[in-house]
């Protein structure tokens, strides 16, 4: 789609965000991060945090989990690496620059895949979700938190008007819920376990899909 998100644009956008990301998005997105981590910790084992960014989430997982973090933006990931060193997070097994759509992990490798504020920022959400499910063990969970676009009304009008600028900043504000349910129906072998409204303002959702 013309004007849609592409990999180069995302890398540029997050290269610009990296120095100020924690200041701007640290607190405002924290409730969503904490809730997804609580769900991932219930599963435990080996967890992949995709689009780990500056690593704000990493110290909040139980230290008994084994964590891998990947991100497409090297400047964001460099901050995550500094954070892991500074906090001595020995349960972080790997941090790597990687495209979420082409994960360099074997099939059925992780107990949980977590993506916080990522799926509306990737160029190809459906292919990316496919790869998340590929690397999940059967019975494992894909745990997302994201802004979900309004179906109608003034918020939808605003989101559509804001969309061109938001793409340059690195995300899609109008991303519809149906895109996720359509993907799940087409993919097969995944079931929606939960959709929970999240702050700010309930415009965000915590979403859990289970791989059968």
Residues 145 and 116: beta-carbon distance below 8 Å: yes
Within 148-207, which residues bind ligand SAM (CB under 6 A)? none
C-alpha Rg value of the chain to the nearest Å = 16
Nearer to ligand SAM, 147 or 211 (CB): 147
Minimum gap (Å) between residue 159 Cβ and ligand SAM: 16
Within 53-82, which residues bind ligand SAM (CB under 6 A)? 53, 56-57, 70-73, 76
Per-residue contact string for residues 2-41; x = within reach of ligand SAM by CB under 6 A: --------x---x----------x---x---x--------
Report how many residues bind ligand SAM under the rule CB under 6 A.
23
Minimum gap (Å) between residue 188 Cβ and ligand SAM: 23
Q: Which residues contact 47 (CB under 8 A, 6 or more apart)?
A: 40, 61, 65, 66, 67, 68, 110, 111, 112, 113, 114
Within 83-142, which residues bind ligand SAM (CB under 6 A)? 99-101, 116-118, 121-122
Minimum gap (Å) between residue 200 Cβ and ligand SAM: 14
Tell me the C-alpha distance between 23 and 52, whole Å: 16
Minimum gap (Å) between residue 153 Cβ and ligand SAM: 25
Please, what is the Cα angle at 137 between 64 and 115, to 5 degrees?
70
Which of 207, 210, 168, 167 shows the shortest CA–CA distance to 189? 210
Nearer to ligand SAM, 153 or 165 (CB): 165
Query: Residue 144 belongs to what H/E stretch?
Result: strand 136-147
Kindly provide the b/e burial profile for residues 174-199, where b requires at least 16 CB atoms within 10 angstroms of the residue's own CB: bbeeebbeebbeeeeebeeeebeebe
Nearer to ligand SAM, 147 or 191 (CB): 147
- How would DSSP label each residue in 38-68? HHHHHH-SEEEEET-TT-TTGGGS-TTSEEE
Minimum gap (Å) between residue 11 Cβ and ligand SAM: 7
Residue 48 engages ligand SAM in binding (rule: CB under 6 A): no
Minimum gap (Å) between residue 98 Cβ and ligand SAM: 6
56's tokens: 């704000």
Q: Which residues bind ligand SAM (CB under 6 A)?
A: 10, 14, 25, 29, 33, 51-53, 56-57, 70-73, 76, 99-101, 116-118, 121-122
């Amino acid at each position: 789609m013309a004007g849609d998100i592409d990999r180069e644009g995302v890398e540029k956008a997050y290269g610009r965000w990296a120095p100020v990301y924690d200041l701007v998005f640290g607190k405002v997105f924290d409730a969503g991060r904490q809730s997804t981590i609580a769900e991932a910790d219930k599963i435990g084992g080996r967890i992949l945090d995709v689009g780990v960014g500056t690593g704000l989430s990493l110290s909040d997982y139980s230290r008994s989990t084994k964590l891998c973090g990947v991100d497409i933006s090297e400047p964001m990931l460099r901050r995550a690496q500094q954070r892991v060193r500074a906090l001595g997070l020995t349960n972080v097994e790997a941090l790597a620059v990687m495209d979420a759509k082409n994960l360099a992990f074997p099939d059925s490798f992780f107990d949980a895949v977590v993506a916080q504020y990522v799926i509306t920022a990737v160029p190809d959400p459906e292919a990316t979700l496919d790869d998340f499910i590929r690397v999940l063990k059967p019975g494992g969970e894909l745990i997302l938190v994201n802004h979900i676009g309004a179906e109608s009304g003034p918020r939808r009008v605003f989101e559509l008007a804001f969309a061109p600028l938001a793409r340059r900043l690195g995300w899609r504000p109008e991303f519809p819920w149906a895109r996720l349910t359509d993907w799940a129906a087409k993919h097969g072998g995944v079931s929606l376990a939960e959709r929970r409204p999240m702050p700010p303002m309930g415009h965000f959702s915590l979403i859990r899909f289970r791989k059968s």
